[in-house]
Amino acid sequence: MRILTITFLFLFLVSCSNSDSTLTTNATPDEVRETDPITGIQSFSVIGDYNGNLWKSEWTTHVYDALEDQNSALLDNEVSSYDLSLINCGNYNSFSRENKMKFWALFMASFSHYESSYNPNERYWESSLGKYSEGLFQLSTSDSNYYTFCNVDSSNILNPKENIQCAVAILDVQIDGSTRRESGRLFPNSYFYWSVLTRSSSKSKVINYFKNRVKQKLPACS
C-alpha cells in the first residue's frame, strides 16, 4: 500500500510538471515580450503573413538600440500627418520617446516583411545596378559609402543587427528630407530607397500590415 501511494504521488507530480511545461511552450511567438536592457523599453515580435514567418523580438531591440546609438532624428522630426492617417496613428507626433521607438520598430517590421519576408539571409541580384540587395532590409554593401552609421560589408551585411543599424540610418535620411524631397514622409511621392514604400501596390500592403497589428503592438496610436 505504501509503495502504491508513493507511485501515485510520483505520477501526479510528473503530470503537473508536464502540464506547466505545456502552458509555457504553448505561448505563440507573437506574445513574447522582452525588455531591452539598454533602453528599458519592452520589445516585441511580429508574426508575418507567410506561413508564420517571424520578426524576432531581438530585432525590435536592435531598432531601439540603433535609434539610441545614432541619436536618431527619427525621434525628433515630425512625420507627415497624411501618412500617419493612412496607418491609423495620427497622434504619433505627440508621442513619448518610448512610444516613438515602438512606432519605428513596428513600421520597420512592416516594410521588412515585404523586402525580405523576415529572412535575414535573403539575397537578390539587382541586374540593373550590378549588385546584390541583402538581408532583412535588402541593403547593399555600397550603402556604407553614403550613410553615416552604415558599416555593412560582405562579411556582416546579413547580420540582423548590422543590417538594422544601417536601415535606421537610411530611414532617418528619408524622413529628414532635403531641398528636393519633402520631409516627414513615410511613403515618399518619388523613389528614395525602398520601393515598397513608394510603389502604390506594395505601399498599400505595408499600410494594411501595420494597421492590422497596431492595436496590439502600439495601442497608443489613434
pLDDT at 39: 72
Residue in the structure block whose three cell numbers are 509503495: 3
Interatomic CA distance for residues 183 and 32, integer angstroms: 34
Checking 74-79 for CB contacts under 8 A at 24+ apart, the result is 74/100, 74/104, 74/168, 74/171, 74/172, 74/175, 75/100, 75/101, 75/104, 77/175, 77/176, 77/183, 77/184, 78/183, 78/184, 79/175, 79/184, 79/186
Helix (H) or strand (E) holding 43: strand 42-44
pLDDT at 38: 64
Burial of residue 182 (number of CB atoms within 10 Å: 0-12, 13-18, 19+):
exposed
pLDDT at 87: 98
pLDDT at 40: 82
* CA torsion, ordered 172, 58, 38, 35, to nearest 10 deg: 120
Q: Sketch the domain layout of the chain as residue ranges.
A: 32-217
Backbone φ, ψ for residue 39 (5° rounding): -95, -20
∠ at Cα 113 (127, 84), nearest 5°? 110
Question: Residue 186 in 3-state DSSP?
Answer: coil
| Count of C-beta atoms within a 10 Å radius of residue 29 | 13
What does the block give as the cell for 109?
517590421
Which residues, given as ranges, of the chain have pLDDT below 70? 1-33, 36, 38
